[in-house]
């Protein structure tokens, strides 16, 4: 949908929804740029830079494997 069609709908949003939309768009742009938000930097946490340090992803996949094993042996 082109922005020119979207703009009238966005005008109708409530104040809080407009703030939420701003937050959403900023988060999406940060994600696409690969930049780390300042608040996360302050916490000493650094977002994963690449597949080489996607350790949180590895933990999720390990959980998926465990769930699959439980589901398979439970049948």
Instruction: Summarize as ranges the residues that interact with another protein (CB under 8 A).
Output: 31-32, 34, 47-58, 60-65, 68-69
- Nearest-approach distance from CB 71 to another protein, in angstroms: 9
CB of 30 to another protein, least distance (A): 10
User: How far apart are CB 12 and another protein at their closest, in Å?
Assistant: 28
Q: Which is nearer to another protein, 13 or 66 (CB)?
A: 66
> Cα separations (Å) of 17 from 21, 30, 63, 64?
6, 20, 35, 35
Mind giving me the DSSP string for 10-65? HHTS-HHHHHHHHHHHHHHHHHHHTPPPHHHHHTT-----SGGG-HHHHHHHHHHH
Q: Which is nearer to another protein, 15 or 55 (by Cβ)? A: 55
């Amino acid at each position: 949908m082109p922005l020119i069609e979207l703009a009238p709908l966005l005008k109708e949003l409530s104040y809080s929804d407009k703030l939420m939309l701003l937050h959403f768009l900023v988060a999406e742009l940060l994600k696409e740029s690969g930049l780390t938000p300042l608040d996360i930097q302050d916490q000493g946490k650094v977002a994963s830079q690449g597949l080489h340090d996607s350790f949180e992803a590895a933990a999720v996949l390990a959980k998926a494997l465990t769930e699959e094993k439980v589901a398979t042996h439970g049948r």
